[in-house]
Amino acid sequence: MLNNIVIVTPIFAMMLAGFIMGKSNLFPQGSGAARTLTIFVWYVAIPALIFKLLAGNRFPSGEEFQTVLGYYLVLYLVYFFSAMVVAPWMNINKEGRGIFAFSCSFGNLGFIGIPLIEGTLGDEGLRILLMIISLHMLTLLPITTLLTEMAKQKQASPWLVLRKALLDCLKNPVVISLFVGLSWAAMGLELSPIAVGILEFPAGAAAPVGLFAVGLSLTRVKLRGDLTPAIVPVLLKMLLMPLGVYFLMSQVLEVSQVWVNTTTLAACMPTGLAAYSLAEQNNYGSTMAASTIFLGVLTSAFSLMIATSLLI
């Protein structure tokens, strides 16, 4: 238990530091500091980390791919259950159901997940997590965009909308680093010591800079109105999804304990900030998304401590 406290506490301390600094005059509203740091993490640090871990090791086994696909099976069960059952029950109109489902299934795997998995499960767990991260936006964003645009009944063809969303995702440096890293590993090539040294600098910055950026970003997430509707997506994301992932991995697929722990902890992550950006972009559901993110981050300070204690 003490070891888990030692690992989890610095993660939230770094986010708290970012939040406090974001409220100070050093990072005034509109300075764009959070966006700049986020761009660095997603476009430089995480791609460097993915390429370093994938290209510098053996090609992933069939069991590793099976584990990643199993995680996404549970994720999409939660996603479509949220969109087709829970959202209508909560009287969320069709236009907002995709965004609601996104909030119930899209976790903050990059900024919070990386330091937690790296600290508790090492490189073996981190490899699986990075493969999951690489497919996160590639799979979730196009489907959410398609559902939202179809609900708006726009004239554009749904397939054109889906094609554009997929092309945008394929240009994402995280996705590119996955494919390049896997290709490098498949060819059996090794990374030179110079290349490893170059990659280690930005890769090492992914966790601390990402956590600080989360804290900064939370200062612009405004909480308004009743927080009760946010409780449902938080429960779906941080309780139902981890239970589903744990059952599938341990009882059905029977993968190694490290992978069971990795995927379950990944499922425990609070909703990522992309949910708020997506809601604002579509002018729908930003209040609920903001409440879900904020409540999820606050809750995860305790839930992740409990989850790591039970699993590790």
d(CA 59, CA 61): 6
Mean pLDDT value of segment 53-73? 89
Residue 15: CA atoms inside 13 Å, Cβ hemisphere, count?
19
Q: What is the mean pLDDT of residues 277-299?
A: 82
Q: Does the pLDDT of residue 9 top 60, yes or no? A: yes
**Secondary structure in 3-state letters for 192-207:** CHHHHHHHHHHHHHHH
- The structural domains of the chain, with segments of one domain joined by +, span 2-20+32-216+228-306
DSSP letter at 288? H
Residue whose token pair is 């909703």:
271
pLDDT at residue 139, as a whole number: 82
For residue 246, the model assigns a pLDDT of: 97
pLDDT in tens, 191-224: 888 998 999 999 989 889 988 988 888 887 766 6
Pairwise pLDDT comparison (30 vs 216), residue with the higher score: 216
**Highest mean pLDDT (candidates 86-95, 215-224, 236-245):** 236-245
The pair of three-digit structure tokens given for residue 72, joined into one six-digit string: 């996404």
pLDDT digits (tens, 9 = 90+) for 131-189: 898 888 778 888 887 787 777 665 556 677 667 767 777 777 888 888 898 889 888 88
pLDDT value at residue 28? 76
- Is residue 81 exposed (0-12), middle (13-18) or buried (19+ Cβ within 10 Å)? middle
- At the topology level of CATH, where does 2-20+32-216+228-306 sit? Na+/H+ antiporter like fold (1.20.1530)
* Mean pLDDT of the 65-72 span: 95
Check if the beta carbon of residue 196 is closer than 8 Å to that of residue 56. Answer: yes
pLDDT bracket for residue 116 (50, 70, 90): very high
Over residues 249-272, the mean pLDDT reads 95
Question: Model confidence at 228, in pLDDT bands (50, 70, 90)?
Answer: confident
Is the confidence at residue 26, as pLDDT, over 80?
Answer: yes
**Dihedral (C-alpha) 195, 262, 73, 106: value to the nearest 10 degrees?**
-80
pLDDT of res. 95: 82
pLDDT at residue 72, as a whole number = 96
How many other C-beta atoms are found inside a 10 Å radius of the C-beta of residue 116?
A: 26
